Amino acid sequence: MKSAPEILKEKCTPAGFERLMILANPKMHEFVAHYLELCNPDSVYVADDSEKNTAYIRSLALKADEERELAIEGHTIHFDGPGDQARDKARTKYLLPPGVDLGSRINSIEKAAGLKEVEDLLRDSMRGKEALILFFCLGPTFSGFSIPCVQITDSSYVAHSETILYRKGYDYFQSIGDAVDFFRFIHSAGRLEDNVSADVDGRRIYIDLEEDIVFSTNTQYAGNTIGLKKPALRLAIRRALRQGWLSEHMLLMGVHGPGERVTYFSGAFPSACGKTSTAMCAGETIVGDDIAYLRERGGRCFAANVEAGIFGIIRDVSRKDDPVIWDVLTTPGEVIFSNVLITDDGVPYWLGDGRETPERGTNFSGRWQKGKTDEEGKPIPCAHKNARYTVSLSRLSNRDPLGDDPNGVELGGILYGGRDSDTWVPVERAFDWNHGVITKGAAIESETTAATLGEEGVRKFNIMSNLDFLPVSLSDYVKKYLAFGERLSKPPVIFSVNYFLRGGDGEYLNGHEDKRVWLKWMELSINNDLEMIQSPTGYIPRYPDLKRLFREVLDKDYSEEDYIEQFKIRVPECLAKIERMLKIYNDEEVPPPEIFYRVFEEQKRRLEEARAEHGDYISPFSLFVGVGPT
């Protein structure tokens, strides 16, 4: 049998072989050698951290036609196949060794069978292609957050995206010597037809938690293929739970208070609920928009952005609502557009961009013209609703100066939000960490929209917006969150936000920009700069504070009627939500901790007592005004 270095020497160019051998890590060598043998590429390219290597990957994406140049310099378009436009939850599975059971809610497959299946699919999958071996770091390099990673892929689009979205990790990998706790990703787009994965039935995303390996094949869509994104989130959640930190599906941002004060927030929202637009709020600074690691240090909570770029939903990005990102998307510089409409002269268009849609062009369905329908006769939109842009955070004028700080940022607050038409008020502070974790984070629900498949307005439970990525039971996840809070002498203050509250006529009660006011209010609240009203479900803003902030932030009048309509406590809906949560958690195979029930029972009692006194819908003016916690 050949040794790993012998195989690598045979497969790689002398320069590539040398680059691999400089990293004195036998476990990495074995991994790369095994999958090069199995996938059998025609050639192999090993990248280090040099700009020359990044430029090569970029040029390869164009040469291989996985991306095409657009009219503006540095802009390219990538298309995923029509059936490969989103994360494939059904075919994403954990490989479980005998005796391990993650419960029936989590998709899994017996390890030996799953490994055989995915390795059979990967066998010879890179024939005729070049394999790219890349090294990245999750979190800032050389920091307490860093997780080194190695990625093998035959997709130059995947590799190119990763060079934009993650911190380079070759030098960092060298510094870890023969350490074994790195993440490993193997991806092949599989057989291509017109440059898109042709065998989508063979699409698999399999996760080996014991080995920290993610296998991905017959897909190109970034959420399935970019090892460092959602695949790594799943591995990191498990590692974090074992080591006592948190790996979260969260934005990270600085909110600017009076004077020079900056208070950092993280925020969890299910996909397409305003996460990126919150992180990009005018007047504030962005650290990251998708994944954050949270760690305790000296009794404080510090957070770091895992990524270095944004893979953002482009739908509804317009010049008016999103000036910062609009500027990046319309000026020279590196941008990968995916699944938008491209005109024949290389100009991208997308849904809700505020422009007149062109008559024709090319989109994820091939050539497209207005009125084009699919096999079922349904109209094909000009761009896919999950079309995206990939850009480096360094391109943004509102990037926070501490974005790459190896210490992370000290977290003052955590937001939890979802699409909720009738229950939560627009912004509310939890009484304390446990109350916030249990009644807010662990109780996130989001309503389906016309843009998602299936019925409209159906509430989907999504704990901490991390449900899709949890390799543990809901109860174990909640327990670890509570234990994490216990180690903090000054835990971040938890808030719920709701941008999607509707009135009796079905109209949204808040404008797109109102979240800017909620952020300022939360920042002041954390710093004990205002009084709050104690409601049965948390602390809510006083009218005079919001009236002042609406004027200061948005130069808008904020009426007392609007305030009452938005901030009235909706007792029946709040009670119904508690019942839904108890049912979900009671159905879990692992029961939640006792405190979980106690916190919900207390909330229920407060709501019932308030109802007895004030009725079903309680104006904030009838509630007690207090200073709130200090």
129 binds, among ligand SPV, Mn ion, none (CB under 5 to 8 A by kind): none
Binding mask 280-319 for ligand SPV (x = CB under 6 A): ----------x--------------------x--------
**Contact region with ligand SPV (CB under 6 A), list: 221-229, 323-331, 399-407, 499-507:** 221-229
Residue in 208, 107, 43, 62 with CA at minimum distance from that of residue 470: 107
Give phi and psi for 609, each to the nearest 5.
-65, -40
Other beta carbons within 10 angstroms of residue 561's beta carbon come to 8
Among 527, 434, 442, residue whose Cα is nearest residue 486: 434
In the bound state, the residue with its beta carbon closest to ligand SPV is 223
**Least distance from ligand SPV to the Cβ atom of residue 468, Å:** 8
Q: Choose among ligand SPV, Mn ion, none what residue 518 binds, the Cβ cut-off being 5 to 8 Å by kind.
A: none
Q: Map the footprint of Mn ion across residues 282-301, applying CB under 5 A.
A: 290
The size of the interface with Mn ion (CB under 5 A), counted in residues, is: 1
Residue with smaller CB distance to ligand SPV, 11 or 87: 87
Contacting range for ligand SPV; rule: CB under 6 A; set: 49-57, 211-219, 222-230, 411-419: 222-230
User: Furthest-apart CA pair in the chain: how many Å?
Assistant: 80
Nearest to 574 by CA among 397, 449, 439: 439
Choose the one of Mn ion, ligand SPV, none that binds residue 440, judging by a C-beta under 5 to 8 angstroms depending on kind. none
Degrees to nearest 5, angle at CA 76 with 74 and 82: 165
Least Å distance between CB 596 and Mn ion?
26
Q: Cβ closer to ligand SPV: 313 or 569?
A: 313
Site for Mn ion in 73-92 (CB under 5 A): none
Among 190, 202, 223, 471, binds ligand SPV (CB under 6 A): 223
Residue 222 touches which member of Mn ion, ligand SPV, none, C-beta under 5-8 Å by kind: ligand SPV
Pick between residue 290 and residue 514 the one whose CB is nearest to ligand SPV: 290
SS3 163: helix
Shorter beta-carbon distance to Mn ion: residue 66 or 290: 290
Among 81, 341, 11, residue whose Cα is nearest residue 225: 81
With respect to Mn ion, which residue has the nearer C-beta, 204 or 275? 275
Least distance CB 589 / ligand SPV (angstroms): 26
Provide, rounded to whole angstroms, the least separation between the CB of residue 388 and Mn ion. 11
User: What does 229 bind: ligand SPV, Mn ion, none (CB cut-off 5 to 8 Å by kind)?
Assistant: ligand SPV
CA 354 to chain centre: 26
Residue 395: what residue type? R
Near ligand SPV by CB under 6 A: residue from 222, 396, 444, 522: 222
Is there a contact between 442 and 478 (Cβ–Cβ < 8 Å)? yes
From the list 223-231, 395-403, 545-553, 554-562, the region that binds ligand SPV by CB under 6 A is 223-231
One-character DSSP codes across 475-504: HHHHHHHHHHHHT-SSPPEEEEE-S--B-T
> Which of 53, 220, 225, 271 forms a contact with ligand SPV (CB under 6 A)?
271
Q: How many helices (H) and strands (E) does the chain have?
A: 18, 36
- Identify which of residues 232 and 574 has a Cβ nearer to ligand SPV in the complex: 232
Q: Binders of ligand SPV: how many residues, by CB under 6 A?
A: 8
> Is 137 an active-site residue?
no
Q: Restricting to residues 160-189, which ones interact with ligand SPV according to CB under 6 A?
A: none
- Residue 453: CB minimum distance to ligand SPV, A: 14
SS (H, E, C) 571-593: HHHHHHHHHHHHHHHHCCCCCCC
Of 311 and 416, nearer to ligand SPV (C-beta) is 311
Question: Which region, left, alpha or beta, applies to residue 525 given φ > 0 means left and ψ of -120 to 50 means alpha?
Answer: alpha
End-to-end CA separation in angstroms for the chain: 67
DSSP code per residue over 236-283: HHHHHHHHT-EEESEEEEEEE-STT-EEEEEEE--TTSSHHHHHT-TT
Tell me the residue type at 236.
Answer: A
Q: Which of 304, 301, 6, 340 lies closest to 145, judged by CA? A: 304
Asked if residue 293 lies in contact with residue 304, where contact means CB atoms within 8 angstroms, the answer is yes
Q: Which is nearer to Mn ion, 248 or 334 (CB)?
A: 248
Q: Where are the alpha helices (DSSP H) in 3-141?
A: 4-11, 14-22, 26-39, 51-63, 111-122
Distances (CA, A) of 444 to 213, 243, 417, 554: 29, 25, 7, 28
**Selected catalytic residue, list 12, 39, 137, 273:** 273
Residue nearest to Mn ion (CB): 290
363 binds, among Mn ion, ligand SPV, none (CB under 5 to 8 A by kind): none
Helices assigned H by DSSP within 64-110: none
Which is closer to Mn ion, CB of 313 or CB of 329?
Answer: 313
Rounded CA-CA distance 99/556 in Å is: 61
Q: Pick out residues in 70-129 that bind ligand SPV (CB under 6 A).
A: 87
- Angle, alpha carbons 138-196-330 (nearest 5°): 65
Least distance between Mn ion and beta carbon 92 (Å): 14
Least distance CB 274 / ligand SPV (angstroms):
12
Look up residue 144 and give its two tokens.
Answer: 């307490």
- Taking CB under 6 A as the rule, does residue 611 contact ligand SPV? no
Tokens 């602390």, located at residue = 539
Site string for ligand SPV, 428-457 (x = CB under 6 A): ------------------------------
CA triple 126-130-134, angle to 5 deg: 105
Give me the half-sphere count of Cα atoms (radius 13 Å) on the Cβ side of residue 147. 25
Q: Which of Mn ion, ligand SPV, none has residue 87 at its interface (CB below 5 to 8 Å by kind)? A: ligand SPV
Q: SS3 of 569, please?
A: strand
Q: Give min distance, CB of 234 to ligand SPV, in A.
A: 11
Nearer to ligand SPV, 273 or 303 (CB): 273
Residues in contact with ligand SPV by CB under 6 A are: 87, 222-223, 229-230, 271, 290, 311
**Residues catalogued as catalytic:** 273
Residues in contact with Mn ion by CB under 5 A are: 290
